[in-house]
Amino acid sequence: MIGKILVWLVKQLARLLWRLLVIVVCHPRTTAAVAAMSTLVLYLGWVAVASMAGLLLVAASTWKAAHAASYEKVVGRWVRTWWRRWWAYRRQWVTVLTRCELGIHDGDDVHLPSLREVSTTRYWDRLIIRPAVGQELRDFEDATERLRTAFGARRATVREIAPQLYGLNFMRVDPLEELVPATPIPASVAEVDFRRIPIGVDEFGDPYYVSLLGGTLCASGSIGAGKASVEWNLLRGIAPATAAGLVRNVGIDPKVKELSQGRPTIFAEGDYAQEPEETVALLERLVADMKRDAKRDGDERDFYPRPGRPLTVLYVDEGAPLTRYWPRAIRSRIDDLLGLLLTQGRAVGYTVVFLIQEPTKDTFTLRDLFTRRLAMRLPTESHTDAALIEDAVKYGATCHQISERTPGVLFSLEDGARSVVRARLGYVRNEDIRELVQYIETARNVIPLDSRRPGDGHTSSEKAA
């Protein structure tokens, strides 16, 4: 009997030592911190260590109040990550995943996904997990809402980041609750990147970019959802290029109220239309220009704006009249012309930014021709699917749940993708539009100090003389 007890005790001691060894190897920083604290208590006593800890807390609080950015970079992120790794996740990992039905049963054994890494930002906790054998990404997608509730997060997403590794993200603070300022006007043409134009902030607190090269863009949203911010943030982001003649902006404005604020500085008289007949005429000119430029470019495959060959951007401020409410014959002609621009314009520098208030299968028949789709607040799930893609709500695009108090919040979907990105557009005030118009007017009237060509000792005006 005593022998059996001794054998059992030896086994338990061996298991304990093995677990301690695993903890030391897997968590060296935590182990070192605990060892250092224990050593200090042993040599200095509890009172001295507690006093030192109090002084450190006061110093850290002062540092955070005086310079939050450096505190976050040096101390805050590390402390927050350590705390959430142990308290929020490892402490209850087995319990939560078991109750969320993410275990694989093998006889009497239950195999759970392993938590490999935890990192945090001000807004998100990012977990890297290794699924158990027999699990797939869909298992975690189906359990996302249960995991969000169990861990007390505001939002949760999951994606595959590598073979046998999934990324599980939990939002703690929503960066999109705060108003986002309008896109700043770049200082020069050199700062304009047509493939990465910032128009807002994504849900991770990073700039949200869209491209005007190699693709087309549509945005859907109810009244007051903030659709016009797409246009004005884009126009602000490319303002130096517009002033330099590298961009030709074309506007179709059935509502009259929106794009007319940019006339005639941003939209030239011949590049702006309101009524059905003049809209058809404008689109016919654009298609003719597109075909002419395609022939002139020859075999050129990658377009980039340059002097004499600008990027042409067509802004349709409200697409519903064009696709449903105008006379049938005009609608049919517009569908044909827009279809040509959407399918043939990308390669020759013609792109479309299309806004629509009522995205349904009847009014938004051109949806699949847009390579990037944005959806803001919409009344129903069916409108979201019509605006983005079938089953978009299942992929996480809950546009019908966006609050009226947060205009500009959107979900986006890129061509070929099945995951959505949540973001908020910059809020463009009337003052920002006036600033944009004034900037372009002023920049067009400025004569460069040095208009000489590289390697040329004379100015262009001297040569002309």
- Residue 40 in any domain: the answer is no
196/250 same-domain check: yes
189/262 same-domain check: yes
187/168 same-domain check: no
146/184 same-domain check: no
Torsion sign over Cα 39, 42, 47, 48 = negative
167/222 same-domain check: no
What pLDDT does 62 receive? 82
Among 158, 134, 135, CA closest to 146: 158
- Residue 296 in any domain: the answer is yes
CA dihedral 13, 16, 21, 22 (to 10 degrees): 140
- Residue 383 in any domain: the answer is yes
- Residue 337 in any domain: the answer is yes
- Residue 388 in any domain: the answer is yes
Could you give the 3-state DSSP secondary structure of residue 270? strand
CB contact at 8 A, 173 and 205:
no
Backbone angles phi, psi at 182, to 5 degrees: -65, 155
Domain range holding 78?
70-173
229/322 same-domain check: yes
DSSP state of 74: I
Domain boundary, last residue among 173, 201, 223: 173
155/188 same-domain check: no
Q: For the chain, how many structural domains are there in total?
A: 2
- Where are the strands (E) in 142-196, listed by range? 155-162, 165-171
Report how far residue 303's alpha carbon sits from residue 450's, in angstroms, rounded to the nearest whole number.
27
What pLDDT does 355 receive? 96
- Residue 2 in any domain: the answer is no
Q: For every one of its 465 residues, what pLDDT tens digit does the chain have, with 9 covering 90 and above?
A: 777 787 777 777 877 777 666 666 666 666 676 666 677 667 767 677 677 778 877 777 787 777 777 877 777 788 889 889 989 999 999 999 999 999 998 888 889 999 999 999 989 999 999 999 999 999 998 999 999 999 999 999 998 999 999 999 999 999 999 999 999 999 999 999 999 999 999 999 999 999 999 889 999 999 999 999 999 999 999 999 999 999 999 999 998 888 999 999 999 989 999 999 999 999 999 999 999 999 988 777 789 999 999 999 999 999 989 988 899 999 999 999 999 999 999 889 999 999 999 898 778 889 999 999 999 999 999 999 999 988 888 888 999 999 999 999 999 976 555 678 999 999 999 999 999 999 999 998 875 544 444 344 444 333 333
378/269 same-domain check: yes
- Residue 11 in any domain: the answer is no
395/264 same-domain check: yes
CATH at 102: 3.30.980
- Residue 464 in any domain: the answer is no
CATH at 417: 3.40.50.300
261/167 same-domain check: no
300/412 same-domain check: yes
Domain boundary, last residue among 143, 173, 203: 173
Helices (H) and strands (E) in the chain, counts: 16, 16
218/323 same-domain check: yes
Domain boundary, last residue among 145, 173, 201: 173
Q: Which pTM value belongs to this model?
A: 0.81
Torsion sign over Cα 450, 453, 454, 457 = negative
